[in-house]
């Protein structure tokens, strides 16, 4: 019977144990729904309340199996969860226009939509898409930016203008260096596809096509550590004629589709594919009353917490912390070039052709952390970190 339904069943999340309502009408056929149990459970790794619902005739005769519905997410499971044959959802959740019936999934428009003034700090690894990825394989980037303008008029995307700073991790520097500071830039993010806007979490999505060769994807819902919901559709899988096993359309085993996060204009994800691990993580967010994470001061971000494991030459530097000056001692009589830089890579002082030792005044430097670079013929040979009190 459920494979021939023209209309979905209606489920009320706010109904209590013993409550009964008309869930489906088809001419003379009237099917009732009734809540039989409400209990605490963990759904998607989070504490939730679930309720079991059964279907009967008006006289109380059973007409099928039960479903389990989650109050927090509206997650429905059961034998009639979706219709494969007719590509229709069997159940509809009441409450989108009736809040008393229970919380529904957020409007699709909230995924990826930020507001003017929102501030974000994003860290990414092996993320090849500019501006939040460096474009270099296996590179790490930290991006801090504030939204200046939002354009919601374009089809399929949200377009943003923002101002921000970008830092890339440099292994030889053992820390981050600024690549762009106080930069105004434009970027876009895809909106949630129409195919995902009206589906329940966990639902199988089927594209048009013959039953012998169909494409299937699965809608997945999760919660970000900041409390935002994230929606993803797995990569569609094509089933060849007569085959029970399919090949997903990315031609790799199990490649996931994109993930969409509420209120965050950057695709946040963590996957491991043929190109190795790739991730983009939200480190900090400030949006109206919403706060998440701790903003990392670029000055601290850009300074390594350790010295490099090896040096080509032995460089001595004292006192550290420094007052009015520091003494630098070198291992031999060859001519070396010294450079003092700040945590963002800005050059503050250069001394050339130093042999054995020299004194560098530091009284004009503000208190903080600095790095001494020692090179010869343009090749970096040593590095020391020091502080000025």
| HEC sequence for the chain | CHHHCCCCEEEECCCCCCCEEEEEEECCEEEEEEEEEEEEEEECCEEEEEEEEEEECCCCCECCCCEEEECCCCCEEECCCCECCCCECCEEEECCCCHHHCCCCCCHHHECCCCCCCEEEEEEECCCCCCCCCCCCCCEEEEEEEEEEEECCCCCEEEEEEEEEEEEEEHHHCEEEEEEEEEEEEEEEECCCHHHCCCCCCCEEECCCCCCCCEEEEEEEEECCCCCEEEEECCCEECCCCCCCCEECCCCCCCCCCEEEECCCCCCEEEEECCEEEEEEEEEEEECCEEEECCCCHHHHCCCCCCCCCCCCCCEEECCCECCEEEEECCCCCCEEEEEECCCCCEEEEEEEECCEEEEECCCCCCEEEEEEEEECCEEEEEEEEEEC
Q: What is the pLDDT of residues 312-326, one digit of tens each?
A: 788 888 898 888 899
Residue recorded with tokens 């501006």 = 131
Domain boundaries, the chain: 2-104, 106-302, 316-388
pLDDT of 153: 96
Percent of the chain past pLDDT 90, that is, above it, reads: 24
> Which of 18-27, 55-64, 237-246, 360-369 is the least confident region?
237-246
Architecture of domain 316-388: Sandwich (2.60)
pLDDT of 81: 39
Q: Which residue has the higher pLDDT, 279 or 221?
A: 279
Q: What is the pLDDT of residues 335-386, one digit of tens each?
A: 999 988 876 667 888 999 999 899 999 888 888 778 888 888 878 788 888 8
Q: Average pLDDT over the chain, rounded to whole?
A: 76
What is the C-alpha separation between 53 and 19, in angstroms, rounded? 10
pLDDT of 48: 76
- Banded model confidence at residue 88, pLDDT cuts 50, 70, 90: very low
Q: Locate 330 and state its tokens.
A: 């070198």
C-beta neighbour count of 346 within 10 angstroms:
11
| Highest mean pLDDT out of 14-18, 115-119, 293-297, 360-364 | 115-119
Q: Which residues contact 80 (CB under 8 A, 6 or more apart)?
A: 2, 9, 64, 65, 67, 90, 91
What is the C-alpha separation between 70 and 35, in angstroms, rounded? 13
Least Cα distance to 291 among 121, 144, 165 occurs for: 121
Q: What is the pLDDT of residues 97-153, one digit of tens each?
A: 444 444 456 778 999 999 999 999 999 998 878 899 987 888 899 999 999 999 999
pLDDT of 199: 63
What is the C-alpha separation between 366 and 389, in angstroms, rounded? 8
Q: What is the pLDDT of residues 178-202, one digit of tens each?
A: 788 888 999 999 998 877 776 655 5
352-360 long-range contacts, CB within 8 A, separation 24+: 354/328, 354/330, 355/330, 356/329, 356/330, 356/332, 357/327, 357/328, 357/329, 357/330, 358/327, 358/328, 359/325, 359/326, 359/327, 359/328, 360/325, 360/326, 360/328
């Amino acid at each position: 019977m459920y494979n021939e339904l023209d209309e979905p069943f209606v489920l009320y999340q706010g109904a209590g144990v013993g409550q009964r309502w008309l869930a489906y009408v088809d001419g003379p056929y009237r099917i009732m729904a009734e809540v039989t149990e409400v209990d605490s459970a963990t759904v998607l790794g989070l504490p939730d309340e679930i309720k079991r619902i059964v279907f009967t005739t008006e006289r109380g005769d059973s007409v099928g199996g039960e479903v389990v519905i989650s109050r927090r997410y509206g997650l429905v499971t059961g034998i009639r969860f979706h219709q494969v044959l007719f590509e229709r959802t069997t159940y509809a959740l009441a409450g989108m226009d009736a809040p008393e019936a229970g919380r529904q999934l957020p409007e699709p428009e909230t995924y990826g939509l930020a507001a003017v003034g929102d501030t974000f700090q994003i860290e990414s690894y092996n993320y090849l898409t500019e501006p939040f990825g460096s474009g270099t394989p296996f590179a790490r980037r930290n991006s801090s930016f504030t939204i200046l303008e939002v354009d919601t008029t374009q089809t399929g995307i949200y377009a943003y203008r923002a101002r921000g700073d970008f830092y890339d991790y440099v292994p030889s520097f053992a820390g981050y260096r600024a690549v762009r500071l106080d930069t105004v830039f434009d970027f876009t993010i895809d909106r949630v596809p129409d195919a995902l806007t009206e589906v329940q979490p966990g639902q199988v999505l089927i594209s048009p096509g013959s039953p012998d060769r169909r494409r299937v994807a699965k809608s997945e819902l999760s919660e970000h550590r900041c409390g935002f919901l994230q929606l993803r559709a797995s990569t569609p899988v094509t089933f060849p004629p007569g085959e029970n096993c399919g090949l997903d359309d990315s031609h790799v085993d199990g490649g996931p589709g994109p993930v969409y996060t509420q209120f965050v204009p950057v695709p946040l994800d963590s996957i491991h594919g043929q190109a190795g691990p790739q991730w983009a993580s939200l480190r900090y967010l400030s949006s109206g009353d919403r706060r998440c994470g701790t903003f990392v001061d670029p000055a601290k971000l850009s300074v390594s917490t350790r010295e490099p494991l090896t040096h080509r030459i032995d460089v001595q530097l004292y006192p550290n912390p420094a007052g009015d000056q520091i003494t630098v001692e070198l291992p031999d009589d060859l001519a070396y070039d010294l450079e003092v830089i700040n945590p963002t890579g800005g050059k503050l002082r250069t001394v050339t052709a130093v042999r054995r030792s020299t004194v560098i005044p530091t009284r004009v430097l503000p208190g903080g952390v600095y790095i001494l670079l020692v090179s010869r013929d343009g090749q970096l040979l040593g590095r020391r970190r020091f502080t000025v009190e």
